[in-house]
């Protein structure tokens, strides 16, 4: 079983219902954990598995769980929130898991909740994922009917309520503290940290926020063990990863591969390489807020540490391809428009800085740029960097910008010199 | 006035949260589903019911891209304008829609049939360029496909 996350997902077919899921061994890990393992054993198994968060930041999942106060310090209710707000441009991997096998996610959620002794869990789902909403609602109802959710799950003393929260469209809700404000029915601006959510989260109670893909791994770790999980990977990070490719390639899509597959493997073997008539210029490896990588870096392994060493980030692992017939300045302008639009407006550098960058990039793209604009763009990559802003949205926006200024400087200068976009 | 059906749906959502006001996003969506949009009157009725001021509730309502505080058409077209769809030609999709519908972004056709809105990444990058009409996702768009698709929404 090399592809635990997707082996029961059949493209074009609906997800397995609870009977089909159980027939394939589903909810076996849950019985095993609730009947034979202490919560701390589940945490330890996930720690040993080297599972790192798949939302983009790559924080070790088991380690995050240890921050929740336990024993005499335990606070109830404790919450588990599943981040299914997949809105990072270029990212479409959680959709596959939400639509393809919701019971796998739900079993992972119950196990995670047991590990941290949570009482209530929410799936925070973006509104546009309408098919996922239907399928998750149905799966949750089925799990309640079978006694996997609610009071005394599978006859054990552990109880959990799981609710689906359908949001209403705003990128910043994916930031974990903004997500907590959203769930509390407040304007979803991020919160100051510390205190951190595992100690002071939803309504001030301990709260863990985990990504969909992260949680989909948990039942497999409990069923087959941490050693097995680590061996799935070709890197120090355990498990597989759902990689994706979009842009002008022959077969855009997602594939579950060992963590640490190379960019070349994903792009050439699975996405079929570039479409005829297009050459690879560069790529953004893991969603809009990761640094461009030039075409000579295809042999970099797509795991958290290797990508960082190569000057970018794994992010969400779904890459966006820049081809030779697409304007890099136009692409960066599109990205900055997104970030400017989705800035929550709470802190000044982000609210004012991003629209300024959009105006400058528009001027350059439309032939009205000046040489001094390059310096203004460069300065902003520092002014909007970590430490100057309230959350990571603007620094995330600076990652593609600063790498574009490095790799495509000649293209920017040509726009300014020729007073037009050479691609139009 | 909120209808008994709307109130019942909102009350069910409220049981999912430690505080009743937490269900305000769901409440706004309940009203929007039955009435198409959230008018000042609906907002005020909802705020009373949720135990919030109208300003508090409006600060939430106006935060979200998909809560409509102005009247919209019978069908909402959300055109993905994010990076993968940009690379794959969402500009041509938008140009065609503008021409066919005779409206720009943020506008509604005179017959009240369609409202055209830009949307952040729909998470359908493998199908780029993509858009949604109501709850339906449509991908790999070209002008012919768009025309056929529009005809299905009355």
pLDDT tens, position by position, A327-349: 999 999 999 999 999 999 999 99
> A361 pLDDT exceeds 70?
yes
pLDDT at position A79: 98
DSSP one-letter code for B135: T
| A185: chain B residues, CB-CB within 8 Å | 17, 19, 21-25, 50, 52, 60
Domain locations along chain A: 18-231, 243-323, 328-418
* Phi and psi at residue A258, to the nearest 5°: -60, 140
The CA distance from A238 to A244, in Å, is: 19
Taking the CA of residue A129 and the nearest CA in chain B, the distance in Å comes to: 8
* Average pLDDT value over all residues in chain A: 97
Across the interface, whether the CB atoms of A331 and B119 are under 8 A apart is answered no
Reported confidence tier of residue A11, pLDDT bands at 50, 70, 90: confident
Instruction: Kindly state whether B69 is in contact with chain A, defined as any CB-CB distance less than 8 angstroms.
Output: no
pLDDT at position A12: 83
The CA distance from A353 to A363, in Å, is: 16
Q: Are residues B146 and B113 in the same domain?
A: yes
> A1 pLDDT exceeds 70?
no
* Phi and psi at residue B24, to the nearest 5°: -70, -30
Cα–Cα–Cα angle for B130, B135, B141, rounded to 5 degrees: 20
Supply the CATH classification number for the domain A328-418.
1.20.1440.230
Q: Between 3.10.20.600, 1.25.40.20, 2.30.110.10, 2.160.10.10, what CATH number should domain A243-323 receive?
A: 3.10.20.600
Instruction: Kindly state whether B132 is in contact with chain A, defined as any CB-CB distance less than 8 angstroms.
Output: yes
Q: Are residues B143 and B105 in the same domain?
A: yes
Across the interface, whether the CB atoms of B23 and A77 are under 8 A apart is answered no
> A416 pLDDT exceeds 80?
yes
Of chain A, the percentage scoring pLDDT greater than 70 comes to: 100
Supply the CATH classification number for the domain A18-231.
3.40.50.11540
Domains in chain B, number:
2
Q: B106 is in which domain, residue-wise?
A: 75-151
A29-58 pLDDT, tens digit each: 999 999 999 999 999 999 999 999 999 999
Token pair of A188 as six digits? 């979803």
Q: Are the beta carbons of A3 and A240 closer than 8 angstroms? A: yes
| B23: chain A residues, CB-CB within 8 Å | 185
Helix (H) or strand (E) holding B119: strand B114-119
Q: CA nearest A344 in B: which residue?
A: B63
Across the interface, which of B23, B50, B63 has its CB nearest the CB of A188? B63
Q: Are residues B88 and B121 in the same domain?
A: yes
Taking the CA of residue A25 and the nearest CA in chain B, the distance in Å comes to: 30
Taking the CA of residue B129 and the nearest CA in chain A, the distance in Å comes to: 10
Compute how many other C-beta atoms are within 10 angstroms of the C-beta atom of residue B99.
10
Q: What is the CATH number of the domain that holds B142?
A: 3.40.30.10
Q: Are residues B89 and B127 in the same domain?
A: yes
| A321: chain B residues, CB-CB within 8 Å | 87
| A127: chain B residues, CB-CB within 8 Å | 29, 66
Give the B window 83-122 contacts with A, CB below 8 Å: 83-84, 86-88, 119-122
Q: Are residues B79 and B147 in the same domain?
A: yes
Across the interface, which of B19, B63, B82 has its CB nearest the CB of A184? B19
Taking the CA of residue A268 and the nearest CA in chain B, the distance in Å comes to: 16
Across the interface, whether the CB atoms of B60 and A187 are under 8 A apart is answered yes
B103-130 pLDDT, tens digit each: 999 999 999 999 999 999 999 999 999 9
Angle between helix axes A409-418 and A328-342 (nearest 10 degrees) is: 100
The DSSP bridge pattern shows strands A207-211 and B131-133 to be unpaired
B67-98 pLDDT, tens digit each: 999 999 999 999 999 999 999 999 999 999 99
B1-15 pLDDT, tens digit each: 999 999 999 999 999
Across the interface, whether the CB atoms of A183 and B22 are under 8 A apart is answered yes
B68 located within any domain? no
Q: Are residues B95 and B126 in the same domain?
A: yes
B13 located within any domain? yes
Nearest to A141 by CA among A119, A164, A110: A164
Strand, helix or coil for residue B141: coil
Q: How many CA atoms lie within 13 A of A72 on its CB side?
A: 0
The CA distance from A334 to B34, in Å, is: 35
| A318: chain B residues, CB-CB within 8 Å | 125
Q: Are residues B93 and B37 in the same domain?
A: no
Across the interface, whether the CB atoms of B119 and A169 are under 8 A apart is answered yes
Q: What is the CATH number of the domain that holds B26?
A: 1.10.10
B20-78 pLDDT, tens digit each: 999 999 999 999 999 999 999 999 999 999 999 999 999 999 999 999 999 999 999 99
Across the interface, whether the CB atoms of A167 and B81 are under 8 A apart is answered no
B69 located within any domain? no
Q: Are residues B84 and B145 in the same domain?
A: yes
State pTM to two decimals. 0.97
Q: What is the mean pLDDT of residues A242-268?
A: 98
């Amino acid at each position: 079983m090399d592809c635990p996350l997707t082996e029961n997902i059949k493209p074009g077919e609906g997800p397995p219902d609870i009977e089909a899921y159980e027939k394939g061994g589903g909810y076996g890990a849950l019985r095993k954990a609730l009947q034979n393992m202490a919560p701390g054993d589940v945490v330890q198994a996930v720690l040993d598995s080297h599972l790192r968060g798949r939302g983009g930041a790559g924080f070790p999942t088991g380690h995050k769980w240890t921050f929740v106060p336990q024993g005499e310090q335990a606070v109830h209710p404790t919450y588990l929130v599943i981040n299914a707000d997949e809105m990072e441009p270029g990212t479409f991997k959680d959709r596959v898991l939400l639509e393809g096998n919701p019971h796998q996610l739900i079993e992972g959620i119950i196990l995670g909740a047991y590990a941290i002794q949570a009482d209530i869990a929410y799936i925070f789902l973006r509104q546009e994922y309408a098919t996922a909403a239907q399928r998750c609602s149905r799966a949750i109802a089925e799990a309640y009917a079978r006694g996997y959710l609610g009071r005394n799950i599978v006859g054990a003393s552990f109880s959990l309520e799981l609710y689906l929260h359908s949001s209403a469209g705003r990128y910043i809700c994916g930031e974990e503290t903004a997500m907590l404000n959203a769930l509390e029915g407040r304007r979803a601006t991020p919160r100051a940290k510390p205190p951190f959510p595992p100690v002071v989260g939803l309504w001030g109670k301990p709260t863990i926020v985990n990504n969909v893909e992260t949680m989909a791994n948990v039942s497999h770790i409990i069923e087959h063990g941490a050693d097995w999980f680590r061996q799935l990977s070709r890197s120090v990070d355990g498990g597989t990863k759902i990689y994706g490719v979009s842009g002008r390639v022959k077969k855009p899509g997602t594939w579950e591969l060992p963590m640490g597959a190379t960019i070349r493997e994903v792009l050439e073997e699975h996405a079929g390489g570039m479409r005829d008539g297009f050459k690879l210029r560069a790529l953004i490896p893991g969603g809009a807020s990761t640094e461009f990588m030039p075409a000579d870096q295809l042999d970099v392994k797509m795991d958290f540490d290797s990508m960082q060493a190569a000057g970018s980030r794994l992010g969400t692992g779904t890459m966006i391809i820049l081809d030779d017939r697409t304007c890099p300045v136009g692409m960066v302008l599109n990205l900055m428009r997104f970030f400017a639009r989705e800035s929550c407006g709470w802190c000044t550098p982000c609210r004012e800085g991003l629209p300024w960058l959009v105006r400058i990039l528009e001027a350059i793209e439309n032939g009205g740029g000046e040489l001094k604009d390059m310096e203004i763009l460069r300065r902003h990559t520092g002014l909007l960097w970590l430490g100057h802003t309230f959350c990571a949205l603007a620094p995330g926006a600076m990652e593609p910008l600063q790498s574009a200024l490095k790799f495509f400087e000649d293209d920017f200068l040509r726009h300014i010199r020729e007073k037009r976009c050479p691609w139009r | 006035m909120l209808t008994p059906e709307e109130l019942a749906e909102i009350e069910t959502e409220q049981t999912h949260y430690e505080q009743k006001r937490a269900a305000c996003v769901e409440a706004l969506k309940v009203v929007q589903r039955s009435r198409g949009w959230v008018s000042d009157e609906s907002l005020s009725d909802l705020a009373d019911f949720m135990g919030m001021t109208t300003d508090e509730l409006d600060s939430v309502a106006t935060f979200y891209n998909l809560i409509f505080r102005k009247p919209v058409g019978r069908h909402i077209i959300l055109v993905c304008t994010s990076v993968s769809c940009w690379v794959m030609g969402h500009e041509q999709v938008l140009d065609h829609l503008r021409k066919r519908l005779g409206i720009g972004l943020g506008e509604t056709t005179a017959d009240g049939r369609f409202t055209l809105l830009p949307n952040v990444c729909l998470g359908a990058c493998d199908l780029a360029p993509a858009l949604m009409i109501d709850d339906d996702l449509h991908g790999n768009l070209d002008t012919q496909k768009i025309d056929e698709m529009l005809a299905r929404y009355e």
